Amino acid sequence: MEEEVLRKLRALVGWSSGDGVFCPGGSISNMYAVNLARYQRYPDCKQRGLRALPPLALFTSKECHYSIKKGAAFLGLGTDSVRMVKADERGKMIPEDLERQISLAEAEGAVPFLVSATSGTTVLGAFDPLEAIADVCQRHGLWLHVDAAWGGSVLLSQTHRHLLNGIQRADSVAWNPHKLLSAGLQCSALLLRDTSNLLKRCHGSQASYLFQQDKFYDVALDTGDKVVQCGRRVDCLKLWLMWKAQGGQGLERRVDQAFALARYLVEELKKREGFELVMEPEFVNVCFWFVPPSLRGKKGSPDYSERLAKVAPVLKERMVRKGSMMIGYQPHGSCGNFFRMVVANPALTRADMDFLLNELERLGQDL
């Protein structure tokens, strides 16, 4: 069942062959990718450890998921090995700065080995330009990993899959169906283009009391030696069942509906006084400020941004204490706290979007 689901996911990426495994979350999928890229470059490190390695450098954008740095620390590379590439005003990695950072790392004596691009950043929902990044990786012989934990499910939509153009050129992809597709937690896949059994060579320990090679069935079905875990949940079952029940068209409708509802929210938000978009979204992350009555028309005042940044935490407390809503907020770069409404739940309706805006107005009318 796991092999069948992984084959379907790889086909959506654009690969006719490859490998993969279900992992306990996207953070672990990303960490696996770093470990596999390092092992492919320096296979001695499996036995000899860090002493077999020169100083290494991996590259990701400043909008990346925090798990990239956490994984580098866990693997003994250290967070200093992660070089942060600039992103543009929409949160997308700038390929020219990636090229510059690679040259800089080499000049400092480090060996570049991996680039982690992001398809669907956590805050802004940005999609990195994969074709241009793949060109850079090809020129420098670097492993290209795409963290599509959030945005990977867009591949199911014929209308929106262009956001991931170039993903077929990646060496590895992290994809979490438990996010946009709403599969039950946890359901996270690591997909590989590799056909040389890299997962098993990198992680395998050939424990004779578990992975006997003289069983009566195809021992390729014993995938346990590919992973770092021993005991493992049957995470593929959730996606297999959902896919069987909904069909590819049903899952595509789920993705397209999320985009349509996000667009509805944006258009309704623009009609109302007191709401301001951080930027036009390209995904289902709708980022906006609620400007309370006391701040309207005062954008030019010196303390405007400071006062506006205090609004979201107050409204968050009020909605949680009332029990009416649960929406995330955060600062980002030079922008003070704003709300990030992620339109992903397939049960959401236009009425829910209207309620969201009405409730924010009600909760913030005295501010």
Percent helix, strand and coil across the chain, each to the nearest 5 = 45, 15, 35
pLDDT digits (tens, 9 = 90+) for 107-165: 999 999 999 999 999 999 999 999 999 999 999 999 999 999 999 999 999 999 999 99
Cβ–Cβ under 8 Å, residues 173 and 167 = yes
pTM of the model: 0.96
Q: How far apart are CA 63 and CA 233, in angstroms?
A: 31
pLDDT value at residue 208: 81
Residue 213, preceding peptide bond in cis (omega within 30° of 0): no
Largest CA distance in the chain: 77
Q: How confident is the model at residue 223 (pLDDT cuts 50, 70, 90)?
A: confident
pLDDT value at residue 46: 95
Angle of CA points 90, 95, 77, to nearest 5°: 100
Mean pLDDT of the chain: 96
Alpha-helix residue ranges (DSSP H) falling in 220-286: 236-271
Reduced to 3 states, what is the DSSP secondary structure of residue 280? coil
pLDDT digits (tens, 9 = 90+) for 272-327: 999 999 999 999 999 999 999 999 999 989 999 999 999 999 999 999 999 999 99
